[in-house]
């Protein structure tokens, strides 16, 4: 598997800079009226290094329906020649996920949700930084953040980028003039 391009150097704990990097990835997702353009970055917070990145629609097994968080996990699985469900065994102790949009808790495609994927790693991802809540466009209210918190995952919203993230996330959606 080809390695990812060089990642930017981001100061430790600069959550906004990591979210900006995730937003850069979200911009790579092809706009469509049927989905959101989301970016994600998986980080080893102890070493301050990017482990993997992803964006909506990037990778098989179902190109067109893979979510950004799932892409991050698939890349780790490929690097370690493991099924995605077992990457918790190889993730560093302080793996942190940045995602421009709240991880999904319901999917119309029937695929496994991002919340289930995170929780299925047995506590390997203890912190998730979120840019915005999922708009209620496709599945109604998303309770992803609440479900993660209820399972002991720390979920923090990175403030100050909501307008930017919403604009990128909804690229390709018809917007009614207000």
Secondary structure of residue 51 in the 3-state scheme: strand
Give the CA dihedral 55, 59, 60, 63, nearest 10 degrees.
60
Secondary structure of residue 126 in the 3-state scheme: strand
Residues that are catalytic: 69
> Which residues lie below 8 Å from residue 13, measured CB to CB, with a gap of 6+?
none
Cα separation, 58 vs 29, in Å, equals 7
Tokens of 81: 């020649």
């Amino acid at each position: 598997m080809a390695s990812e391009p060089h990642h930017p150097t981001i100061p430790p704990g600069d959550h906004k800079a990591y979210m900006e990097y995730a937003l850069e990835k979200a911009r790579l997702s092809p706009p469509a009226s049927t989905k959101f353009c989301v970016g994600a970055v998986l980080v080893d917070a102890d070493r301050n290094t990017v482990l993997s990145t992803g964006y909506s629609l990037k990778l098989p097994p179902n190109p067109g329906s893979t979510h950004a968080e799932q892409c991050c996990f698939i890349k780790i699985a490929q690097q370690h020649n493991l099924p995605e469900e077992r990457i918790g065994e190889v993730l560093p102790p302080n793996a942190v996920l940045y995602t421009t949009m709240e991880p999904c808790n319901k999917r119309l495609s029937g695929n496994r949700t991002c919340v289930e994927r995170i929780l299925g790693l047995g506590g390997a991802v203890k912190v998730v930084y979120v840019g915005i809540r999922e708009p209620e466009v496709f599945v109604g209210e998303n309770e992803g953040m609440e479900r993660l918190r209820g399972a002991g995952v720390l979920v923090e919203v990175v403030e100050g980028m909501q307008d930017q993230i919403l604009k990128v996330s909804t690229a390709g959606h018809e917007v009614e003039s207000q």
